[in-house]
Amino acid sequence: MIAGVLIALGAAACYEVSYVLQALEARNEPAEHGLRFALLWQLAKNPRWAAATAGTVGGAALQIWALSRAPVTVIQPTLAAGLLALPLLARFVLKERLTPREFAGIGAIVGGVSVVAAFGPTHVGREDASVGVYLVLAVLWAVMLSPFVLRGRDMPAQLAVLGAACGDAAAALGLKLAADKLHADEVGLAIVWAAVGAASGAFALTAEMTALQRLRAPRIAPVVVAFQVLVPVAIGLGLLGDSWRHTPGGGVLLTFAVVVVVAGAALLSASRTVEEALGVEPQDHLGGARQPGE
């Protein structure tokens, strides 16, 4: 399982570096491409954004590998550790002073992930997708697609954030099932589930890049990170055969650790120190004055 955790940390690093580069480039795109795959097409022509997306693909490959070695209930919280790259970049590269709130976020993520890695289950649940899994996927996809169906100038930007969050959760579920099928040497089904994960990720990425045109990152990342961690963990425990029954406190310790990780991620992703250091400012592309605090 330790190997799985280490691989997941590599995936987290790929994801986070890619996210920063993608966010920087997305804000330079015109509003009319929002919630359209034309946005991704235009961004794909940008060498820096394309390189960042290649990093995301590499992160997904590492995530599948990690999920073949350790339970999804361990891997998903570990991926949140990628957020540590942002304050460390601000502190040691850009010489920004971190706030007590940011140090608290760092401590929460490091502590929570350490507990999950140390006391998490070693058994990887490999239950076949049940009706419950398909229902959860259907709900996630319905929410994910809603901003695309309702796109327009009057659509709340927060709906794009929610769509991105559900898309990322669906992508994690698809990659988990792809890893299980690869472990069972069912390559065809593994490709199908990987395609589900990739499609979910593409919709999520489009929605998130659109949201980044209108909102500051602190209003986006906490929601996305919470869904990325909590939804796959809940599905793993409830539907895919993972169990915390034989962990300390019958799962109480791990539940607390996961909540701490999500809280730490929310603190860090809501930090303006990193955002301002990187010069990531949302342009008012889509109409309407930006309100204080947005």
pLDDT in tens, the chain (294 residues): 889 999 999 999 888 888 777 766 666 655 555 556 666 677 777 787 788 888 888 999 999 999 999 999 999 999 988 888 777 776 776 566 778 888 888 899 999 999 999 998 888 888 888 899 999 999 999 999 998 888 766 677 788 889 999 999 999 999 999 999 999 999 999 999 999 999 998 889 888 877 777 776 667 777 888 898 999 999 999 999 899 988 999 999 999 999 999 998 888 777 766 665 555 554 444 333 333 333
Name the DSSP class of 127: P
Residue 87 confidence (pLDDT): 76
SS3 label, residue 142: helix
Residue 139 confidence (pLDDT): 96
Distance CA 125, CA 177 (A): 10
Handedness of CA 70, 122, 9, 73 (dihedral sign): positive
Give the DSSP H/E element, type plus range, for residue 190: helix 187-214
Angle of helix 187-214 relative to helix 37-44, nearest 10 degrees?
90
Residue 31 confidence (pLDDT): 55
Q: Of 81, 22, 32, nearest to 202 (Cα)? A: 22
Distance CA 46, CA 30 (A): 14
Residue 42 confidence (pLDDT): 72
Task: Give residue 187's Cα distance to chain centre.
Answer: 25
Exposed (0-12), middle (13-18) or buried (19+): which is 103, by Cβ within 10 Å?
middle
Residue 137 confidence (pLDDT): 95
Residue 284 confidence (pLDDT): 43
Residue 134 confidence (pLDDT): 95
Residue 292 confidence (pLDDT): 34
Residue 283 confidence (pLDDT): 46
Prediction pTM value: 0.81
Residue 152 confidence (pLDDT): 66
